Structure 1
Amino acid sequence: MRLNKQVICASDRPGSGSFRPMAMSEGEAPRHHEPRVLIVDDEYFVAWHLESLLQDLEFDVCGIAGDCESAVKSAIDFAPDLILMDVNLGAGPDGVETVRRIFQRRQVPVIFITAYTDEANLTRIRQAAPAAAILSKPVSPEVLQAAVRRALPREGG
């Protein structure tokens, strides 16, 4: 198996962003893999903290995106098993609209992680993604782990 280095740019403003090298395999995908998680959050320190927590729990973070466009592209390109989605993504479409756009292309489990848990936001989330879990920021490692394990499809049926 050869490795091909890819660079992902996540930005919430044109001309800015965070570049990360990620190893992507070429050729046949392995039959069994760690669950792949895409993190979508415009706060890079929050995203990197979530990445660290997930890696400690032995999940494969396949990408980090900071805006709608990057998230939709990453969801298509990397086919994650799960998406962790912030609601407020700064300027542009928010996390709820981003999930709607992703769902137009593929269905994937989503966990919303947000500081905005007012009834209006909760209603919008439930309308866009009825099966999505909703976690309040800040989220503890234990709560995150439980939510991720519940959201992921079970292997073998």
Structure 2
Amino acid sequence: MNGKIKILIVEDEMIIGANLSLQLSELGYEVTGIVPRGEQALQHIATNPPDILLLDINLKGSLDGIETAEKMQQTQNIPIIYLTANTDDAHFNRAKKTHPHGFISKPYKKLDLQRTIELTLTQIALKNEEDDVLQNVESLILSDSIFVRHNNSMVKVDINDILYIEAERNYCRIYSKNKEYLLVTTLKDMDEKLPRKHFLRVHRSYIVSISKISELANGHIVVGKKAIPISKSLKDELLNRLQTI
């Protein structure tokens, strides 16, 4: 985040809202507004989204604070800190579903406000670091699954669903039961990372799931109705592996 951290206060008790604004300004934050209703908060967020939403749970009007958060999260992902004088289980369980970064109980202390915001900013920074790392990762290979990049997110693919993997120059295409995934990595790299008990490289352009082989011929195998060539140098290893499954 560049510059001052922007915080929107959504509070229908204007004396509390004004006091919050003063204290946040003293702590070095920029208050983008003080609004008393959830509907107004949503309008404000649409045109001037803050970095943090300081949101009273018990708002008057057609939307309470939790409903306001739910509507906001349909289009944006702004960290929420709830203000509340009511900490009963029903409110807490509703609020928890919106994954807030914190709760501040009224009457609040300035130190509570300061620490909750600092913890929220730490969580945001850690998440941003994780996102930056994942942006540079095309696949994460675990013992029972692979996380592959698909449409700007990491998608889990179960090992048991993978049929075969085909090389396309410096790319690999994973063929599973239901989908295909294109990865920016070489087949050699995939071969080194995949669990050996499940997969075998049978050709310079193919890795197959051994348990998914349905036919074995002189020069090829069949996996998921796909005829895949076998290199002569790898045929004996394939036969040995088939005898052990």
Q: TM tier, shorter chain?
A: 0.7 to 0.9
Distance 1:132 1:97 in 2: 16
Amino acid at match of 1:148: I
Q: Is the 1:66–1:89 contact (alpha carbons within 8 Å) kept by the matching residues of 2? A: yes
Alignment map for 1:92-107 (pairs within 5 Å): 92-107=62-77
Q: Which whole-Å deviations, capped at 9, do the CAs of 1:72-104 have from their partners, x for residues lacking one?
A: 011121110000000111131100000001111
Q: Does 1:143 align with 2:112?
A: yes
Q: Is the 2:81–2:100 contact (alpha carbons within 8 Å) kept by the matching residues of 1? A: no
Q: Give the superposition deviation at 1:154.
A: 2.4
Q: Give 3-state SS (helix, strand or coil) of 2:63's partner.
A: coil
Partner of 1:76: 46
Aligned length, in residue pairs: 126
Return the TM-score normalized by structure 2: 0.49
Partner of 2:15: 45
Partner of 2:125: 154
Q: Give 3-state SS (helix, strand or coil) of 1:154's partner.
A: helix
Distance 2:88 2:3 in 1: 37
Percent of residue pairs identical = 30
Structure 2 residue corresponding to 1:134, chosen from 77, 83, 103: 103
Q: Give 3-state SS (helix, strand or coil) of 1:122's partner.
A: helix
Structure 1 residue corresponding to 2:31, chosen from 61, 64, 74: 61
| Cα RMSD, aligned residues only | 1.6
Q: Give 3-state SS (helix, strand or coil) of 1:105's partner.
A: coil
Distance 2:69 2:61 in 1: 16
Q: Show structure 1 runs of 5+ residues with no match.
A: 1-30
Q: Which whole-Å deviations, capped at 9, do the CAs of 1:5-40 have from their partners, x for residues lacking one?
A: xxxxxxxxxxxxxxxxxxxxxxxxxx8210000000
- Kindly indicate whether structure 1 or structure 2 has the higher relative contact order, using CA contacts under 8 Å at least 6 residues apart: 1
Amino acid at match of 1:149: E
Q: Give the superposition deviation at 1:135.
A: 1.4
Partner of 2:239: none
Please identify the structure whose Cα radius of gyration is greater: 2
Q: In structure 2, do the counterparts of structure 1 residues 149 and 100 end up closer, same or farther at CA, with 3 Å as the change threshold?
A: same
Runs of 4+ in 1 over 3 A off after TM superposition: none
Amino acid at match of 1:45: I
Distance 1:122 1:90 in 2: 18
Partner of 2:205: none
Q: Is the 1:133–1:151 contact (alpha carbons within 8 Å) kept by the matching residues of 2? A: yes
Partner of 1:4: none
Q: Is the 1:39–1:61 contact (alpha carbons within 8 Å) kept by the matching residues of 2? A: yes
Return the TM-score normalized by structure 1: 0.76
Q: Show structure 2 runs of 5+ residues with no match.
A: 130-245
